[in-house]
Amino acid sequence: MARQNNEKGLEELRAARRESRPYYWFVAIFSFFVNMLMLTGPLYMLQVYDRVLGSRSVATLIALSVLVVFLYGMMGLLDYVRGRVMGRVAARFQNRLDTRVFDAVVRRSAVQPDQLAATGLKDLESVQRLMASPVLMAIFDIPWTPVFLIGISIFHPWLGILAMSGGAILIVITIVNQWVTRNPTQKSNVATFQAEQISDQLRQESEMVQALGMRRAAFLRWHEARAKSLSGQIGSADLAGSFTTLTRTLRLLLQSAMLGLGAYLVLQGELTPGAMIAGSILMGRALAPIELAIGQWTLVERARKGWTNLSQLLSEVRPEEPRTALPRPRAKLDVQQLTVVPPGEQQAALRIVSFNLEPGQALGVIGPSGAGKSTLARALTGVWRPAGGKIRLDGATLEQYGPDVIGEHIGYLPQRVSLFDGTIAENISRLSQAPDDQKIVEAAKKADAHEMILKLPEGYNTRVSGAGGRLSGGQMQRIGLARAMYGDPVILVLDEPNSNLDNEGSMAVNKAIRRMKEEGKAVLIMAHRPAAIAECDMLLMLENGSRSAFGPKDEVLQSRVKNHDQIRKTAALPGGVR
């Protein structure tokens, strides 16, 4: 069932892997020669024992040795080249999927920040690591194992039987290893991930941890997760280690057993001493790839899990369809019967809400905490998709524009502004590859942040961090407003713009709203405070996710006052509302 659901993602991963098919052939052909050249050692041994020692010819020994040096040199070269090719194939695979996986991670994190989203990029890296590792090369070598085993059988059938039984035991150990280590490895990976998450969060909130005297409690919480992760890691390393030791010991034992059996056959006159030594070496070569695979099983297991996670992520977050480019819209917003269900929730946070906004208007969205104001802002900026109803910008639904284009047309100032590591200019230009200085300054001026930025030590080149660094809450909000206005959007969505602002800051926001209106654009302001709706012409009241009033500001306010009076009067009557 899960396989079925992941089919689309699997197909994408396989397509990316298929792109390097010619290189796999190249590596397979190189592997053929490498494995043929692996016979150099046993054949040299055979010749030295059976020919050189018999004939006592130094010249033959020198000639053979020169040949062996050359052949080993060739083998080393081919092995090195195939390793480099696979390293590049792995990098190519990762490169091909980087954009797609990154996009899927960002889109999923916005609506469902779960483990699948958090580990997406690491999952891709784990697959890439396996592809570039010697384990994958071992897969190209494993088909040669039977060939070597047959080679041993040619020396003597009994030697062949012993080698094949040894090989069979190793294969059984590989299967048991995979079966036994899968769960502990996965559990340990999950525990490690949780410990990392806790430490990341505590680091980000270090100020609060310090200020509230939470250091000890925070440490204990992290330590508990860390201890779980460590014990998980030790457990799975112990398990993996015991299998590695078991296989290594078994291989050494088998090699000696081969020698012992070979010696017996030599004594019986059924085998030459050269064949005895060569058989033992050949068996070592035959079983080496299996031993390598077992030794590196954690890598294989991590990549396998990564592959499954990626296929699920890519199946659930499908690529965006290419869209026909639409002309720059007018500031006409039409919201019809909008219902929004927060990701992972059953209950709608907005229910059948309709309203419209014309160019040159500002709409205040007010209502108590939890009424659905931020939910509306997220839906209008395309972060959360409507579960029902439509949002139309100048006639076209938001999906018809595509997420990046929507960002250009609808500027958004979230309730909690956070900046990215970089300069203020880079932040205002939304980390654009080709930032336009003129547009940056223009946006800052519109947000009335220009003077404030110039006063900072390095002006627009002042570096800031995720949490703002040296900036105050109000300064961050003004830079957030400039970022929202970068690129001249037609609609501006401001979620609680005044929450961190002083009087001057609030006036700056009001000025920005006035200017947008004069330019024929539209603004939506989600607000608690009356100061924030001073510039609004229209008012939308939300209560418990539903529209309780919508219309010109004064009318809505008056009707609310009337209602209020009415309620008060009713309450005053005997038996009225108490």
Ligand X SMILES: Nc1ncnc2c1ncn2[C@@H]1O[C@H](COP(=O)(O)OP(=O)(O)OP(=O)(O)O)[C@@H](O)[C@H]1O
Residues in contact with ligand X by CB under 6 A are 342, 345, 349, 367, 369-375, 415
CA-CA distance, 306 to 489, in Å (whole number)?
40
Q: Nearest distance from residue 418's CB to ligand X, in Å?
A: 16
Query: How does strand 463-464 pair with strand 422-423?
Result: antiparallel
CA-CA distance, 354 to 248, in Å (whole number)?
71
Q: Nearest distance from residue 353's CB to ligand X, in Å?
A: 12
CB-based contact 97:124 (threshold 8 Å): yes
Give me the residue label for tokens 């919480």. 221
Residue among 94 and 375 whose Cβ is closer to ligand X: 375
CB-based contact 519:487 (threshold 8 Å): no
Residue among 87 and 342 whose Cβ is closer to ligand X: 342
Residue among 54 and 113 whose Cβ is closer to ligand X: 113
> Which one, of 272, 354, 269, 313, lies nearest residue 111 by Cα?
313
Q: Nearest distance from residue 349's CB to ligand X, in Å?
A: 3
| Count of residues in the chain | 578
Residue among 342 and 468 whose Cβ is closer to ligand X: 342
Q: Nearest distance from residue 415's CB to ligand X, in Å?
A: 6
CB-based contact 403:382 (threshold 8 Å): yes
Q: Nearest distance from residue 102's CB to ligand X, in Å?
A: 22
Q: Nearest distance from residue 559's CB to ligand X, in Å?
A: 21
Residue among 42 and 372 whose Cβ is closer to ligand X: 372
Residue among 162 and 526 whose Cβ is closer to ligand X: 526
CA-CA distance, 36 to 389, in Å (whole number)?
67
Q: Nearest distance from residue 563's CB to ligand X, in Å?
A: 20
Q: Nearest distance from residue 311's CB to ligand X, in Å?
A: 26
In terms of phi and psi (left: phi > 0; alpha: psi -120 to 50; beta: otherwise), the region of 133 is beta
Rounded to the nearest 5°, which phi and psi values hold at 6?
-90, 5
Residue among 292 and 410 whose Cβ is closer to ligand X: 410
Residue among 54 and 370 whose Cβ is closer to ligand X: 370
Residue among 177 and 375 whose Cβ is closer to ligand X: 375
Q: What tokens appear for 81 in the block? A: 């080249």
Rounded to the nearest 5°, which phi and psi values hold at 388?
-160, 160
Q: Nearest distance from residue 386's CB to ligand X, in Å?
A: 14
Facing residues of 541 across strands?
A: 366, 549
Rounded to a whole number of angstroms, the distance between the first and last alpha carbons of the chain is 57
Per-residue DSSP letter, 156: -
Q: Nearest distance from residue 492's CB to ligand X, in Å?
A: 17
Q: State the SS3 of 318-354.
A: CCCCCCCCCCCCCCCEEEEEEEECCCCCCCCCEEEEE
Facing residues of 494 across strands?
A: 413, 525
Rounded to the nearest 5°, which phi and psi values hold at 366?
-120, 165
Q: Nearest distance from residue 574's CB to ligand X, in Å?
A: 36
Residue among 145 and 375 whose Cβ is closer to ligand X: 375
Residue among 419 and 526 whose Cβ is closer to ligand X: 526
Alpha-carbon distance values, 196 to 101, 200, 228, 319, 333 (Å): 21, 6, 12, 29, 43
Q: Nearest distance from residue 548's CB to ligand X, in Å?
A: 13
Alpha-carbon distance values, 296 to 76, 237, 323 (Å): 22, 11, 45
Give me the residue label for tokens 């100032």. 413
Residue among 146 and 370 whose Cβ is closer to ligand X: 370
Give me the residue label for tokens 């696979």. 86
CB-based contact 166:287 (threshold 8 Å): yes
CB-based contact 433:427 (threshold 8 Å): no
